[in-house]
Structure 1
């Protein structure tokens, strides 16, 4: 199976050995970040630094000023962590080592945007704003994300792209000094805490026949016992149990329609900007109501829109992730199984060959390795050994 490793530009720029080191792992491709959220990242082999702090969401190349001049929302330029055309420099070095380069574009995840423009953010049923989560139902936000997808995906030399967070973001977020784990929230409670009640979403619920005030009250009532005891309930039926089938259906319809519109528009914009044959994949989850980096999608729908999906398969999740898509894939669909290969982040690089074989049996056509820049030398040695055993 074709294998790609995730990288940040700062893993490569300034390190003359980085590109060859990645090629020597046995991968054929690199998925290189071109638009990314704020992060603090380890660089264990770089000759000039060990920790890179990306202070805010940014594009990692010089944005086209003419494209954004008249727009209300626009991407932020990177600071010292990715100066100039950091993406372009890294991509050139990787291509020079014989690797295909695909861009990696994070869309609906931007804390600086939410801080500076709170009107763009998801608002929960209690009135709390989530500044990291742009509301994709807002027309200005959706237009910005579609334009960003086109620009950040189709970078010079890129042969394809992977769109992350191309859908709803919600409560779950790796925030600085996070303190929200005191009450256990299951899958269903996370969904209720991720419902948006901004003016646009309230109007959307109303158009589907639900009074938004009554819906918000129902969400709060459903969550009341959760704050006392926690909850582990998961799945769409659990959401219906908490909220009631009719109200749950309204939220599924409104949010699902908004997500599908964004996904279709983003993929179409990328294809319009790219040369024929440019591959477009989405980081995805087969449960349409789920939120986050791997946005919830309808498998049958999304495989008719994009060229395929990248699915989180670490920790025994491969069957749950791959099976719903395998049932709907065409001969050309890409189902990329994404495995964390950083031991310190819960990955298991030592079992990569076994995990890959299992994923292939479940329908995976490609592999993704998260994340070659963050992994230790020992982890990378395990990765190379695992890949050497794959056909």
Structure 2
């Protein structure tokens, strides 16, 4: 199986040994961040630092002229990725014989929501989620589509493809600094209801589906009352229907799925128009279409008719691959994403077995999260496993 590892530019820039060390693991590709959200990251092998703090979501290269005079527009990185950090890292990696694909985070940007409040998801209580741009708003969609095209295709860097993360709805769940939202067990149904957006664009969308937006928001609040009392709803879509009513649930889902599908189509089209022939476009995806997050909920048949393939989270098991495998073509890429950082719940010692299970479910490639964050011990397990998979 072809194996790729995720990486940040700051894992490479300033560390001349990093490219050769990565190539020695047995990976063939690096999926290198070009546009990324805020984070605090360890760099356990870097000669100049051990912790990098990316204070806000940013592009890790100088934003282009297309953004002149526009709002919203991407933020340049600070001292954690100065200048064209992406290009510096990409060229060093390609010189070491590694393929480089860009890693582009789209609908996840807290600074955007703080500085442009009208871009954010607004829940049924009127609370804004500044980290979650509403993908139904026309100006936000235009920003995300242009960001996808620019960040994915970095001319002169040897970049041969891209992976689009958060190309869909983001909701309540968020790895926010000092999160304190787990005191009530929402379950999957509660997460869905708390992630429904009621901004002006979404209210108009619900009206197109035959719903009264104000009554629908009130229905969501009523449905959540038992949850606030401590009654955890059952999982799955059936629970959403029980809480909200089948008709309202179906109408909200129809609006959200239509919005996500058209964004995915537009983003992939924009990347392909900007890219050279043969440029690969993958989406980080969840096969359950109503789910939110970095791995956007998609319709498997639809997304594989739009993109070249998907990257699917499989650390908890390979079952999410099956819905995609049912709709693949001979050209489809199904990449199983496996966490190999033991301190983040990964299983580097079991990588060979996990990869075999993913292959049995249809995966033909691996994505390893994350070569820059893993300890030397974790990476030794990765190298051993990849040598067995050759």
TM-score, normalization: structure 2? 0.99
User: Does residue 139 in structure 1 map to residue 138 in structure 2?
Assistant: yes
Partner of 2:358: 359
Q: Output the CA distance in 1 between the equivalents of 2:165 and 2:234.
A: 26
Partner of 1:290: 291
What's the CA shift string for 1:260-291, capped at 9, x where partnerless?
01000000000000011000000000011000
User: Does residue 149 in structure 1 map to residue 153 in structure 2?
Assistant: no
Partner of 2:188: 187
Q: Output the CA distance in 2 between the equivalents of 1:276 and 1:235.
A: 41
Following superposition, the deviation at residue 258 of structure 1 comes to: 0.5
Following superposition, the deviation at residue 233 of structure 1 comes to: 2.2
Contact 1:38 1:55 in 2 (8 A): yes
Contact 2:233 2:239 in 1 (8 A): no
Contact 1:23 1:99 in 2 (8 A): yes
What's the CA shift string for 1:341-368, capped at 9, x where partnerless?
0000000000000000110011001000
Partner of 2:121: 122
Q: Output the CA distance in 2 between the equivalents of 1:334 and 1:185.
A: 34
Q: Secondary structure at the match of 2:293?
A: coil
Following superposition, the deviation at residue 69 of structure 1 comes to: 1.0
User: Does residue 29 in structure 1 map to residue 56 in structure 2?
Assistant: no
Contact 2:241 2:249 in 1 (8 A): yes
Q: Output the CA distance in 1 between the equivalents of 2:132 and 2:153.
A: 24
- Runs ≥4 residues deviating over 2 A: none
Contact 2:216 2:248 in 1 (8 A): yes
Partner of 2:58: 58
Q: Secondary structure at the match of 1:389?
A: helix
Partner of 1:8: 8
Following superposition, the deviation at residue 235 of structure 1 comes to: 1.5
Following superposition, the deviation at residue 185 of structure 1 comes to: 1.4
Q: Secondary structure at the match of 1:103?
A: strand
Following superposition, the deviation at residue 336 of structure 1 comes to: 0.2
Contact 1:121 1:134 in 2 (8 A): yes
Following superposition, the deviation at residue 73 of structure 1 comes to: 1.2
Q: Secondary structure at the match of 1:34?
A: strand
Q: Output the CA distance in 1 between the equivalents of 2:264 and 2:23.
A: 32
Contact 1:185 1:231 in 2 (8 A): yes
Partner of 2:267: 266
Partner of 1:46: 46
Following superposition, the deviation at residue 238 of structure 1 comes to: 1.6
Any unmatched runs of 5+ in structure 1? none
What's the CA shift string for 1:285-324, capped at 9, x where partnerless?
00110000000000000000000000000022x11x1010
Write out aligned runs for 1:162-173 (5 A): 162-173=163-174
Q: Output the CA distance in 1 between the equivalents of 2:92 and 2:188.
A: 42
Following superposition, the deviation at residue 232 of structure 1 comes to: 5.0
Contact 1:107 1:148 in 2 (8 A): yes
Q: Output the CA distance in 1 between the equivalents of 2:382 and 2:185.
A: 34
Contact 2:119 2:134 in 1 (8 A): yes
Contact 1:189 1:233 in 2 (8 A): no
What's the CA shift string for 1:79-131, capped at 9, x where partnerless?
00000000000000100110000000000000000000000000000000000
Q: Output the CA distance in 2 between the equivalents of 1:216 and 1:232.
A: 19
Following superposition, the deviation at residue 212 of structure 1 comes to: 0.6
Following superposition, the deviation at residue 231 of structure 1 comes to: 1.7
Q: Output the CA distance in 1 between the equivalents of 2:337 and 2:233.
A: 25
Following superposition, the deviation at residue 240 of structure 1 comes to: 1.1
Partner of 2:314: 313
Write out aligned runs for 1:227-266 (5 A): 227-266=228-267
Any unmatched runs of 5+ in structure 2? none
Contact 2:120 2:130 in 1 (8 A): yes
Q: Output the CA distance in 1 between the equivalents of 2:259 and 2:110.
A: 21
CA 343–232 in structure 1, closer or farther in 2 if over 3 Å, else same: farther
Q: Output the CA distance in 2 between the equivalents of 1:103 and 1:90.
A: 11
Following superposition, the deviation at residue 230 of structure 1 comes to: 4.3
Contact 2:227 2:233 in 1 (8 A): no
Partner of 2:69: 70
Following superposition, the deviation at residue 72 of structure 1 comes to: 2.1
The size of the alignment, in residue pairs, is: 388
Q: Output the CA distance in 1 between the equivalents of 2:85 and 2:179.
A: 30
Aligned residues: CA RMSD: 0.7
Q: Output the CA distance in 2 between the equivalents of 1:279 and 1:198.
A: 34
Contact 2:72 2:116 in 1 (8 A): no
